[in-house]
Amino acid sequence: MLRLSKLTDYAVVVLVRLSSGDGVQTSPGIAAAIGIPEPTVAKVLKALTCRGLVTSSRGARGGYRLTRPLHAVPVSDVIAAIDGPIALTACVDGAEGHCESQGLCPMAGRWDPVNAAIRAALAAITLADMQEAAVPRAFRLPADAAHHLSAAPASIPLSE
Amino acid sequence: MLRLSKLTDYAVVVLVRLSSGDGVQTSPGIAAAIGIPEPTVAKVLKALTCRGLVTSSRGARGGYRLTRPLHAVPVSDVIAAIDGPIALTACVDGAEGHCESQGLCPMAGRWDPVNAAIRAALAAITLADMQEAAVPRAFRLPADAAHHLSAAPASIPLSE
DNA sequence: GGTAAACAGGACCGTGGTTGTCCGGTTAGT
DNA sequence: ACTAACCGGACAACCACGGTCCTGTTTACC
């Protein structure tokens, strides 16, 4: 299914949340606002900080702040921050010491154009694009909504 | 890493192999030619047959044959055959009864443009494009090639 | 100066999906 | 009739991801 890590989905939600509000926002505060367990939010924010998408202030009254507005953050950056480099297979660029055993591999490097195409596609979409995209599909709570709430009260699957 | 299933990689190799040679090719024959265990090749071919990318002839002298030339097979078809529908998250199109718990989910449907972009990118690349892509990078056997051969003799990681 | 709030950076398991294999059944040539 | 090959499903081992927790370290406030 070309699976994207769920953490990446969380990251997008967190970043959008961070864009609302002017000051710094704490990890527990964000977690409460978007309904994701705090440790998970913290892990996401940690990764985003490493990649420079957000800045952190330590100590009491600390928190996180966006370094760029949403329209300057391509989705590819978020994915790269959480999932690592964007590549469909590990057989790319800097892959050394693997693959091509006994020279039989007839596909060495063939995925490169595919990877490049996907990278380009993801770089062209910013978080602002995603933010203004189809919201109407949300809030269509089906009849069994209560069932789901009781079934999984703690974790809130966002785009699951 | 935006992981693509390894089976999909195999599928590409299998299809390229099928394009060489005029008649039908048997599953064991293909397996021997590309160095992948036969059961795995059979599983891949099974999925490709279901999606109509190859046709099968049963019985003795049976085998598989391409239904389309490589330049008419977009990568998206191969991925869809093995990995299922192309979507970064399960929160798409026909996803029902999940997600949007208690209406908190602020990102419902936001991944749709991203999915569409990736689908378009993958549909624009055919197996012929991949076939004629960078072969030179192959056969650059490093010094420790022998080590790898002895380390993993049975399975041959193609684009791993 | 002390305390509390918040980030930093690990380590830690449970779970689910993928991988790879195997088996019996069916079809069609020889 | 026999054999070669596909068909369909089931099954175990493995690995990565998801989620949690714990121990520092930093900083603001009392």
User: What would the pLDDT profile of B47-77 be if each residue is shown by its tens digit?
Assistant: 999 999 999 999 999 999 999 999 999 999 9
Average pLDDT over residues A129-138: 64
Cα–Cα distance measured from residue B138 to residue A153, given in angstroms and rounded to the nearest whole number: 51
The percentage of residues in chain B with a pLDDT greater than 70, rounded to a whole number, is 69
pLDDT of residue A64: 97
pLDDT tier for residue B131 given thresholds of 50, 70 and 90:
confident
Q: Which helix (H) or strand (E) holds B63?
A: strand B63-66
pLDDT of residue B100: 47
Q: Select the more confidently predicted residue: A154 or B97.
A: B97
Residue of B31, B35, B27 lying closest to B63 (CA atoms): B27
pLDDT tier for residue B108 given thresholds of 50, 70 and 90:
low
Spatial distance from the CA of B28 to the C1' of C1 (Å) = 78
Q: Which helix (H) or strand (E) holds A66?
A: strand A63-66
* Residues A55-112: tens digit of each pLDDT: 999 999 999 999 999 999 999 999 999 988 887 765 544 344 445 444 455 556 678 8
Tokens 């389309």 correspond to B68
Please give the C-alpha separations between residue A120 and each of A56, A87, B135, in angstroms, as whole numbers: 29, 12, 22
Average pLDDT over residues B40-50: 95
Residues within 7 Å (Cβ) of strand C? A 1, 3, 26-29, 42-43, 45-46, 49-50, 56-64; B 5-7, 10, 37, 39-40, 42-43, 57-62, 83, 154-155
Query: B36 is written with which tokens?
Result: 């992948």
Q: Is the pTM of this model over 0.75?
A: yes
pLDDT of residue A160: 31
Residue of A130, A88, A118, A2 lying closest to B107 (CA atoms): A130
A14 touches A47 (CB < 8 A): no
**b/e string for B14-41 if b means 16 or more Cβ within 10 A?**
bbbbbbeeeebbbbebbbebbbbeeebb
Q: Select the more confidently predicted residue: B107 or A84.
A: A84
Averaged confidence pLDDT in chain B = 76
Spatial distance from the CA of B3 to the C1' of D6 (Å) = 30
Averaged confidence pLDDT in chain A = 77
Tell whether B137 lies on the interface with A, counting CB pairs under 8 A: yes
B137 DSSP β-pair partners: none
pLDDT of residue B132: 77
| Structural domains in chain B plus CATH codes | 6-84+126-138 (1.10.10.10)
Tell whether B87 lies on the interface with A, counting CB pairs under 8 A: yes
* Region of residue A97 (phi > 0: left; psi between -120 and 50: alpha; otherwise: beta): left
Cα–Cα distance measured from residue A3 to residue A19, given in angstroms and rounded to the nearest whole number: 26
Nearest CA in chain A to B13: A107
Q: Select the more confidently predicted residue: B101 or A71.
A: A71
A64-78, A113-127, B40-54, B131-145: range with lowest mean pLDDT: B131-145
pLDDT of residue B86: 80
- Is the per-residue pLDDT at A139 higher than 60? no
B126 DSSP 8-state letter: B
pLDDT of residue B136: 47
- Is the per-residue pLDDT at A155 higher than 50? no
- Give the burial class of A151: count Cβ atoms within 10 A of its Cβ; 0-12 exposed, 13-18 middle, 19 or more buried: exposed
- Is the per-residue pLDDT at A50 higher than 70? yes
Q: Select the more confidently predicted residue: A133 or B39.
A: B39
Residue of A30, A39, A37, A27 lying closest to A63 (CA atoms): A27
pLDDT of residue A6: 87
A56 touches A49 (CB < 8 A): yes
Q: Select the more confidently predicted residue: A37 or B110.
A: A37
- Across the interface, of A17, A118, A136, the residue whose CB is closest to B118 is A118
- Is the per-residue pLDDT at B99 higher than 70? no
pLDDT of residue B104: 53
pLDDT tier for residue A147 given thresholds of 50, 70 and 90:
very low
- Is the per-residue pLDDT at B102 higher than 50? no
Spatial distance from the CA of B28 to the C1' of C9 (Å) = 50
